[in-house]
Amino acid sequence: MATGSDVHLENPEYHTRWYFKYFLGKIHQNYVGADVEKNIFFLSVVLTDANNHNVPQYRAILWRKTGTQKICIPYNSAKSMSVKRILGRFNIKSEKSPKEIYTPDIQKELLLLEEQEGSVNFKFGVLYAKNGQKSDDEMFSNEHGSEAFRKLVSLLGETITLKGWDKFNGGLDVKNNTTGTESIYTMYEGHEVMFHVSTSLPYSKDNKQQVERKRHVGNDIVTIVFMDAEDPEDEVFFKPSMIRSHFTHIFALVTYNKNEDTYRLRVYSEESVPLFGPPLPAPAVFDDHRAFRDFLLVKLINGEKAAFNTPIFANKRQRTLEMLIKNLQQDMMQETNKQNMLNKRSFSDVIPDPVWGWRSKKEEARQAEFVKIGQILKLKTIVKGDAPTSLASTSLLKREPWEPQCIQNDFLFEIVCGDSWGDKLIVGTESGSS
């Protein structure tokens, strides 16, 4: 079954976490101010050529309690850029000049603000259920899964050993094996995904509620329920109310037909979750397993992102943002007043280019400390597994040039020679080049 070209991530990873990717570890400017209605805002500006074909441009982030806004502005060496002009692009009017924040610690606070955007990496539950089971106690008490379930799990990602795991762990114990010894992990378009597989989590013969399993799967926003039927022709019965969770908003019900070697997908969303793609085909039956995997992962990632816009999450996020911004403004104003704003620039002054050597030794030392702290924060975020990890994210994780990369699985001709042509690969065969 063809799934079409509409299988794509909504609000993809490369549109998010700008501060982590383009600002941290580089010289940039941060400002605090208030608009004409006395609403506090923070502004971050960096001059960079990252992801813009080596053409310099300004990237700016406006931080407000209602969320963040981002823009790119072309760089013109003949025309200086000012804070006032950038705020004008955001339609922000301010009666007083915003103050520049010089303390390097502002980077840690802005990184915390950015985390409120939602998940970069994801943890999804995977629950094994037998057809006819009608309660989560029964489903979580399945000590082992069937061969069909194991086949699905292996399709989702690779089996990894938890002890010593140094990438995104999804809240699983990677030191003492208290949450099992293995799990399933994958990377999809810059997003790390850890699956909480019910049968891989600790099983207790004495605890019918299987609290340890529910603690992880029950606290995932999205859960895959694999309903195993002995007879492929049997109609499965599932209702989200069977699983008691105040946190799970989306269930993806998967069944497998061993006679036809196909997967069927049904998706159940809490009514407050906005619509999210890709739309299910009719019928939602997949004979191409890799296409099914791609469709399912995109659907789950989009679903969790959509769930963050439900009132329960959106209101919580706005309250958190408002509190963080208010506290940050108070801390920064005390800091800038303590420094007597010795380096204060006027409202119309230009955003400086990050050029070394033209300022005082004191300013150069401040900039060096600023960059050092940013780089440390970036590395800590990567180690924690809370960072975007696509090639656009950070040079620390780029593919080395000698690492193999699969471009075509089933090329029909024997390749005699090859070379690169821009961003394309040209290969020669006895039948010609392509």
At which residue do the structure tokens 């509190």 appear?
323
pTM greater than 0.85 (yes/no)? no
Task: Report the 10 Å Cβ neighbour count for 333.
Answer: 14
Asked if residue 37 lies in contact with residue 308, where contact means CB atoms within 8 angstroms, the answer is no
Euclidean distance between CA atoms 356 and 115, whole angstroms: 31
The separation between the first and the last C-alpha atoms of the chain, rounded to the nearest angstrom, is 28
Asked if residue 158 lies in contact with residue 178, where contact means CB atoms within 8 angstroms, the answer is no
| 142 against 97, higher pLDDT | 142
Instruction: Report residue 140's pLDDT band, with 50, 70 and 90 as the boundaries.
Output: very high
For residue 217, the model assigns a pLDDT of 93
pLDDT score of 389 more than 60: no
For residue 234, the model assigns a pLDDT of 75
Percentage of the chain modeled with pLDDT above 70: 82
Instruction: Report residue 403's pLDDT band, with 50, 70 and 90 as the boundaries.
Output: very low
SS3 of residue 195 by DSSP: strand
CATH class of 122-307: alpha beta
Packed helices 289-307 and 147-156: angle between N→C axes, nearest 10 degrees = 70
pLDDT digits (tens, 9 = 90+) for 240-259: 888 888 789 999 999 999 99
Characterize the bridge pairing of strands 182-188 and 250-257. unpaired
Beta bridge partners of 269: 250
Chain mean position to CA 207: 35
Dump strand ranges (E) for 154-293: 158-161, 182-188, 191-197, 222-228, 250-257, 262-269, 285-286
How many residues are recorded in the chain?
434
At which residue do the structure tokens 């006032």 appear?
84
Task: Report the 10 Å Cβ neighbour count for 51.
Answer: 14
pLDDT score of 398 more than 70: no
Two tokens, residue 44: 């971050």
Amino acid letter, 248: T
Domains of the chain, residue spans:
17-117+312-387, 122-307, 405-434
Chain mean position to CA 24: 17
- Which one-letter DSSP state was computed for residue 20? I
Euclidean distance between CA atoms 286 and 51, whole angstroms: 36
SS3 of residue 361 by DSSP: helix
Same fold, 17-117+312-387 and 122-307: no
For residue 255, the model assigns a pLDDT of 95
Chain mean position to CA 402: 27
For residue 147, the model assigns a pLDDT of 95
Instruction: Report residue 2's pLDDT band, with 50, 70 and 90 as the boundaries.
Output: very low
For residue 355, the model assigns a pLDDT of 54
pLDDT digits (tens, 9 = 90+) for 336-367: 555 544 344 444 456 766 554 456 777 788 88
Beta bridge partners of 41: 33
CA distances from 94 to 88, 97, 330 (A): 10, 7, 18
pLDDT score of 399 more than 80: no
For residue 384, the model assigns a pLDDT of 65
3-state SS, one letter per residue, for 367-407 = HHHHHHHHHHHHHHHHHHCCCCCCCCCCHHHCCCCCCCCCC
Residues 6+ apart with CB under 8 A from 19: 44, 61, 110, 111, 114
Long-range contacts of 45-49 (CB under 8 A, 24+ apart): 45/81, 45/83, 45/86, 45/351, 46/22, 47/75, 47/351, 47/353, 47/354, 48/22
SS3 of residue 85 by DSSP: helix
Euclidean distance between CA atoms 251 and 221, whole angstroms: 9
Averaged confidence pLDDT in the chain:
82
Asked if residue 221 lies in contact with residue 193, where contact means CB atoms within 8 angstroms, the answer is no
Task: Report the 10 Å Cβ neighbour count for 301.
Answer: 24
For residue 390, the model assigns a pLDDT of 45
pLDDT digits (tens, 9 = 90+) for 161-200: 999 998 889 989 999 999 999 999 999 887 889 999 999 9
Euclidean distance between CA atoms 424 and 310, whole angstroms: 42
Euclidean distance between CA atoms 207 and 210, whole angstroms: 5
CATH class of 17-117+312-387: alpha beta
pLDDT score of 325 more than 70: yes
Mean pLDDT on 253-282: 93
SS3 of residue 425 by DSSP: strand
Identify whether 283 is preceded by a cis peptide bond (ω within 30 of 0).
yes
Amino acid letter, 216: H
pLDDT digits (tens, 9 = 90+) for 49-102: 877 777 889 999 998 887 788 999 998 888 888 898 999 999 998 888 888 888
pLDDT digits (tens, 9 = 90+) for 203-249: 988 777 888 898 899 889 999 999 998 777 778 889 988 888 878 99
Task: Report the 10 Å Cβ neighbour count for 273.
Answer: 19
